[in-house]
């Protein structure tokens, strides 16, 4: 099987590459622009394998994407490349519009041209999206495949637009597109601007642990390796034109997450007092969605997927991974992002 993975040097993309390469017959080519969010160290072990290749390129380069699709002749394109941090999208949406919309358009066009000419047997274009496209839930209910789109942030609006493009390329041109809408991921190799790694690294650096608003915003957490498994199932068994909501059935408030992280660190790296003493409530994110939760019945029933990692154990493993892998995150903290507040515009 030949796979083309866009954004493979990022958090979920790298987990997916490790998952795909477990199969001895897999050949994986990653296309990644290596933005601030990519860490070359994430893929370094895979680059020693001749079945793996990293192409440093921008998915918006439509001619190059077409050449690459034709040259690689993939069985599956997993499209993950995106600008992904909501706070950065609030500060400046340009890169989000370019990569998430124009870049997705370029990938769909390249896939279509390749598909129409080569007519590969069982080609799939798996467009990897988020539950954030559905906007905010109140205290009740969960998102599923029928939930209307209602994005709140520049990030989720561009992801919503990209989802519509992907579905339109199926309906109009017959491209075998499948869309996944997944909840918040956690696990190793996540860029330390996102909640869990930011809290771990700020805590052990003796810095404040900033919580937006009152910390009551709820997310449904899924381990990144469970997400990678879901994407493989979707590529193998999913029906073209369908979308699948993917979630972990692990709803937690942000404050609960930070308290759990602090408790794990108190046990592993004791200090006088508790890391919870470093918690600081700060002004809320503009347009901050209150609650996300996923009803994953469809992918469970139709594709036989279910999350296999228990959240508490997965979180403990994740904290341990950051404690054991300073060589992975230290250059990012020192040279790319030191933990300062982003996305305050309008507050």
Q: Considering the complex, what minimum distance in angstroms separates the CB of residue 210 from ligand NAD?
A: 19
Q: What is the dihedral of CA 198, 207, 253, 89, to 10 degrees?
A: -50
Exactly one of 3, 18, 115, 155 is catalytic; name it: 155
Selected binder of ligand NAD within 33, 124, 223, 309 (CB under 6 A)? 33
155 is catalytic: yes
Nearer to ligand NAD, 244 or 275 (CB): 244
State the sign of the Cα–Cα–Cα–Cα dihedral 203, 320, 196, 291. Answer: negative
The secondary structure of residue 187, as a DSSP letter, is: S
CA distance 233 to 248: 16
| 182 is a site residue for ligand NAD (CB under 6 A) | yes
Burial of 344 (0-12, 13-18, 19+ CB in 10 A): middle
Cβ neighbors of 119 (< 8 A, separation 6 or more) are none
Selected binder of ligand NAD within 89, 109, 167, 185 (CB under 6 A)? 185
User: Is 144 within 8 Å of 195 (Cβ atoms)?
Assistant: no
Binding mask 102-141 for ligand NAD (x = CB under 6 A): -x------------------------xxx-----------
| 37 is a site residue for ligand NAD (CB under 6 A) | yes
User: Is 115 within 8 Å of 175 (Cβ atoms)?
Assistant: yes
CA distance 118 to 138: 47
Selected binder of ligand NAD within 11, 105, 123, 305 (CB under 6 A)? 11
CA distance 73 to 337: 37
131 is catalytic: yes
Q: Considering the complex, what minimum distance in angstroms separates the CB of residue 79 from ligand NAD?
A: 7
When CB distances to ligand NAD are compared, the closest residue is: 10
Nearer to ligand NAD, 31 or 111 (CB): 31
Selected binder of ligand NAD within 4, 28, 35, 107 (CB under 6 A)? 35
Within positions 39 to 78, which residues make up the interface with ligand NAD, using CB under 6 A? 58-60
Q: Considering the complex, what minimum distance in angstroms separates the CB of residue 39 from ligand NAD?
A: 8
The secondary structure of residue 103, as a DSSP letter, is: I
CA distance 62 to 43: 24
Q: Considering the complex, what minimum distance in angstroms separates the CB of residue 185 from ligand NAD?
A: 4
Cβ neighbors of 309 (< 8 A, separation 6 or more) are 223, 225, 226
Nearer to ligand NAD, 96 or 115 (CB): 96
334 is catalytic: no
Which positions are annotated as active-site residues? 131-132, 155
Give residues in contact with ligand NAD (CB under 6 A).
Answer: 6-7, 9-13, 31-35, 37-38, 58-60, 80-84, 99, 103, 128-130, 159, 182, 184-185, 191
């Amino acid at each position: 099987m030949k796979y083309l993975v866009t954004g493979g040097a990022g958090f979920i993309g790298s987990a997916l590459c490790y998952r795909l390469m477990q199969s001895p017959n897999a050949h994986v080519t990653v296309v990644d622009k290596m933005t601030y969010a990519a860490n070359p160290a994430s893929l370094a072990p895979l680059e020693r394998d001749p079945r793996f290749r990293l192409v440093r390129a921008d998915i918006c380069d439509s001619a190059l994407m077409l050449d690459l699709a034709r040259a690689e002749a993939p069985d599956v394109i997993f499209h993950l490349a995106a600008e992904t941090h909501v706070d950065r999208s609030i500060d400046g949406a340009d890169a989000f519009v370019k990569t998430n919309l124009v870049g997705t358009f370029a990938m769909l066009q390249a896939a279509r041209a390749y598909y129409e000419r080569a007519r590969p047997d069982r080609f799939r274009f798996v467009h990897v999206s988020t539950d954030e496209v559905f906007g905010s839930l109140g205290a009740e209910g969960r998102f599923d495949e029928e939930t209307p789109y209602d994005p709140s942030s520049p990030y989720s609006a561009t992801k919503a637009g990209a989802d519509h493009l992907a579905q339109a390329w199926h309906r109009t041109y017959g491209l075998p597109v499948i869309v996944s809408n997944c909840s918040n991921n956690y696990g190793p190799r996540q860029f330390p601007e996102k909640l869990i790694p930011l809290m771990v690294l700020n805590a052990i650096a003796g810095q404040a642990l900033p919580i937006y608003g009152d910390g009551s915003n709820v997310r449904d957490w899924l381990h990144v390796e469970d997400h990678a498994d879901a994407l493989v199932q979707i590529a193998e068994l999913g029906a073209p034109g369908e979308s699948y909501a993917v979630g972990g059935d692990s709803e937690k408030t942000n404050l609960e997450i930070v308290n759990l992280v602090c408790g794990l660190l108190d046990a592993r790296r004791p200090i006088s007092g508790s890391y919870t003493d470093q918690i600081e409530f700060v002004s809320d994110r503009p347009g901050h969605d209150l609650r996300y939760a996923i009803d994953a019945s469809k992918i469970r029933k139709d594709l036989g997927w279910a999350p296999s990692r228990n959240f508490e154990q997965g979180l403990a493993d994740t904290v341990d991974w950051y404690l054991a892998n300073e060589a992975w995150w230290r250059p990012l903290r020192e040279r790319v992002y030191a933990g300062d507040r982003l996305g305050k515009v309008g507050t």
